[in-house]
Structure 1
Amino acid sequence: MVAPKAKKARLKQLWLLFAQAVTVGCAAALVWKTFFPAPEPSPAPNPPKAEDPLEKDLALLAMSGDYSNAVSIAAPSVVNIFTRKTVRMSRADELGVDWNQDPELHLKALGSGVIVSSSGDILTNYHVVDGIRSIFVALSDGRTYEATLRGNDVETDLALLQVKAKDLPAIRIGDSSELRVGQTVLAIGNPFDVGQTVTSGIISALGRHGFGLNNYEDFIQTDAAINQGNSGGALVNLRGELIGINSAIFSPDHVEGFVGIGFAIPSSIVSTVLPAMMAGQTVERGYIGLVPRQLSQELAQDLSLRVRSGVMVKQVIPNSPAAKADIRSFDVILEVNGQPIARANRLLQIIARLKPGTDVEVKILRGNRTLSKHVVASQRPHGSLEKEAIIPSPAEEEGDFEERSR
């Protein structure tokens, strides 16, 4: 039997041992947590986005070659543009009929157009309606309206017509900046006045320029068949959205038909021009006063430049902001406000977006020296010469040419 004092001492000793063990355990746990922290729990995965049934259906239809959904969405928004006049019959007496009392109505197809607002605004190419006094529009459902020219922008070859109608099927405008070469597209218009026609193809190239068809070229190239009468019509994606206005074709000399190279003005340009035209305003653009030329590798070698591509100044317009900033012919433009410049058409678009009075830093290569020039942009004057210099291609020298598809 253990004595009470001995028992009490034994219990005290066990308590001390327990307390020390707990203390050592806590310390060890603290050290372990400090030097070997537990991994952060991985975040719960984001729930998968609900798939849009329309997108799924369109993708399946595209794989099967069925584009009817896209056509049913876009086709009602594409119109035929024509003119008409009365013709007096000169042989009325010989025929024994007074044709002058009932003159013949002569119709002439001009091109195509796209409804962009339900209240009657119709977008087309400027070259389709240029110089035409009596303009009429035929909708896909057969209704016809007389149209007035509401606005135009010659620099981009776009024009806006208006008809007195309501609740028209306006097209959805897509984002051409998202396009990729190889995507399927559809061209809708009225070629050769045979009636509304749909053709399919792919995007063959993006950013085509240097043809001299307008001053702000950034064409979508497609092999969807585009012929005379398609000008002003719609180039659409498989969601039925407008991604371009069909405008021109490339044909070998003496060949009038389509050979697989068509051009459309992208919706990115349409979106910058359309609001001003719909508001009845003139499209305002920035201006610095130079004529850019796309720099080829051969020209760069001939000039002993250390760059092999880019944009060279072919001409500086006298008394322009560029002239006042001491920018010279043969300077190579490297950057504008820190943005690298590789293509002449992109340079012109950047300049066009400048507000008059904006101070612009232009980095140039002059000989072997890199210089920075500060240019104060002004408003682009009417009929400005600030546009890309046209360099004939070997194909053009052999007789090939670009023609508009009106």
Structure 2
Amino acid sequence: MFSRIAPFFVLLTALFAPLALRAEVPQSMQQMQLSFAPLVKKTSPAVVNIYAQRKVQAQMTPFMADPFFAQFFAMRGMGGLLQERIEKSLGSGVIVDPDGQIATNTHVIRGATEITVVTSDGREFAAEKVLDDPKSDLAILRIKPKGAKLHYLELADSDQAEVGDLVLAIGNPFGVGQTVTSGIISGLSRSNVQGAGEYSFFIQTDAAINPGNSGGALIDMRGRLLGINSMIYSKDGGSLGIGFAIPSSMLRTVIDASRHGGKVVRAWTGLSGQAVTPDMVESLGLERATGALINRVNPKSPAYKAGIRSGDVILSVNDHDVADPDALKFRIATVPIGTPVKVTLFRGGKTGSATLVAEAPPEDPPRDETTLKGRHPLSGAVVVNISPAVAEELGGVAQESGVVVVKANDGYAARFGLQEGDIILAVNGDKIGSVSDLRDVLDEDARRWALQIMRGSRVMNLILTL
């Protein structure tokens, strides 16, 4: 056994000797096969550890989880007693500019009351949250380097990445310390990833990603930031070679927003649609099942003004293929407000194009935010008129008009289980088109209330008695 391995080590020594004498970024595939060390030395100082501390409420005794013991604590009046404790979590982040901006995942710092950043050379900095965008699971932090030099990574163009490209993942898995793993891009434009945010459109890699890697860097062979490591597919919490990173094209929009007001405002087209299924291909006249079939166009939208109509199939946006509605949503979300958007579409057996201008979603009608009061089942709820702006804020709102609940933490509304995002369709048989309509209906003096509410795609008819 040892005799067979010895020649291999001699060969390795001969191969790596040139790199030991002169450390530089690999310039060819032959050099890349020798070592990633120069690339790691160039990029790893920009990847940091993030320690988040949050306050949580917990039951004073673990016995409260047991139904048998819980009844005795309840009898003594201790059933509702909670104890505040400090919970700590660990993740990674990437410095994206020399002034101390750091990109990470929203889930790494969610609910944090104190955030500490530790660089690869051991320096510690208190960090403040600049922007938090749960829809993309991206957050931007800022540290004050106080004159200290910070290494940072430039962003790659993730739209130029290809399946098979070599990549490195850098982070702090399981808190063992900064770790580098290598792999390739296994897939692009991965959507429908369970547990992902609203914008599910990932780079898939087989580079090992484990808990603690979240928020770390996925870099290309030029040392640029290709994506932010975010999720893994796993049965036991460990790496199975299926990891997902948020593309730099999405990260770029969040970084830009953090520098201009600290709020992400994404482009609005007024389009909604569905995936093209195999059984639709022949009737639509397509060659294969791809694209987003448009089933609704807001008549006041940029898309309508550009001539896009219900029944059109969107095939690409700015020359990037659109395989399904998720891809369409992602492509539009990464377009800066005010810029032209070229759309390739299929209509009536022919391929054509349209150009629209990306607009911010309008708040039309005005939201008319109202906290409902009185003796009725919606008392305590905060409601607003639905507009494109409100629909974008809440995400997943099924209607373009009507009244939606934005908060339901108090009163009868909380007691009856009303939730944020519920759309109030009718009360006591009267259709609700605006907050004003709802206020008028709730002024009635009644003990029995019939509510029609849409939650997601499900319509619920409730009969409630006060």
Counterpart of 1:232?
Answer: 215
Q: Give, in angstroms, the shift of residue 153 of structure 1.
A: 2.8
Q: For the structure 1 residues 178 and 351, does the alpha-carbon distance in structure 2 shift closer, same or farther, using more than 3 Å as the test? A: closer
Report the counterpart of residue 198 of structure 1 in structure 2.
180
Q: Which amino acid aligns with 1:283?
A: V
One-letter amino acid of the counterpart of residue 120, structure 1: G
SS in 2 for 1:243: strand
For normalisation by structure 2, the TM-score amounts to 0.57
User: 1:241 Cα deviation (Å)?
Assistant: 2.0
Change (3 A) 1:364 1:124: same
RMSD between aligned residues: 3.8
**Higher RCO, 1 vs 2 (CA within 8 Å, ≥6 residues apart):** 1
What corresponds to 2:328 in structure 1?
347
**For 2:322 and 2:221, how far apart are their aligned partners in 1?**
32
8 Å CA contact 1:82–1:107 kept in 2: the answer is no
Aligned partner of residue 174 in structure 1, secondary structure: coil
Partner of 1:113: 93
Which residue identity lines up with residue 76 of structure 1 in the other structure? P
Pick closer, same or farther for the CA change 1:361–1:161 going to 2, 3 Å.
closer
1:127-168 deviations in Å (ceiling 9; x for gaps)? 221222211111111222221101233332211101121421
* Change in CA separation of 1:309 and 1:151 when aligned onto 2, cut-off 3 Å: same
Work out the CA distance in 2 between the residues paired with 1:167 and 1:240.
Answer: 18
Q: Deviation per CA, 1:78-97: give whole Å up to 9, x if none.
A: 1111124799xx9xxxxxxx
Equivalent pair of 1:109/1:193 in contact (CA under 8 Å): no
Q: Which of 264, 281, 288 is the matching residue for 1:300?
A: 281
1:182–1:203: 8 Å Cα contact kept in structure 2?
yes
Q: Secondary structure at the match of 1:293?
A: strand
Deviation string 1:150-199 (CA, Å, 9 cap, x unpaired) is 12333322111011214211123333233222222111111122221111
Q: Structure 1 residues 106, 144: closer, same or farther in 2, change over 3 A?
A: farther
Rounded Cα–Cα distance in structure 2 between residues aligned with 1:189 and 1:359: 36
Aligned to 1:30: none
Q: Is the 8 A contact 1:312 1:333 kept in 2?
A: yes
In structure 1, which of residues 209, 226, 230 is the aligned counterpart of residue 191 of structure 2? 209
* 1:164 paired residue among 144, 168, 176: 144
Contact 2:201–2:330 (Cα < 8 Å) also in 1: no
Letter in 1 for 2:95: I
SS of 2:186's partner is strand
Whole-angstrom CA distance in 2 between matches of 1:182 and 1:170: 26
Deviations 1:213-248 (A, max 9, x none): 233343211000111111110011233321111011
Which residue matches 2:374?
none
Q: Which runs of 5+ in 2 are unaligned?
A: 1-22, 61-84, 362-388, 399-466
Partner Cα separation in structure 2 for residue 251 and residue 327 of structure 1: 41
Query: Aligned partners of 2:272 and 2:141: how far apart in 1?
Result: 32
Q: Which moved more, 1:171-180 or 1:336-345?
A: 336-345
Q: Which residue of 2 aligns with 1:126?
A: 106
Equivalent residue in structure 2 for 1:70, among 39, 52, 68: 39
Corresponding residue for 1:45?
none
Identity %: 41
Partner of 1:263: 244
| TM-score between the two structures when normalised by the length of structure 1 | 0.65
Cα deviation, 1:304-334, whole Å, max 9, x if unaligned, reads 3321322334753777628967977665335
Return the offset for 1:278.
2.9
Distance 1:327 1:201, change over 3 A: same
- Separation (CA, whole Å) in 2 of partners of 1:340 and 1:189: 31
* Counterpart in the other structure of 1:145: 125
Say which is worse superposed, 305-314 or 377-386, in terms of deviation: 377-386
Match of 1:226, SS state, is coil
Q: Work out whether residues 150 and 280 of structure 1, in 8 Å CA contact, stay in contact via their aligned partners in 2.
A: no
SS of equivalent to 2:291: strand
1:298 Cα offset (Å): 4.0
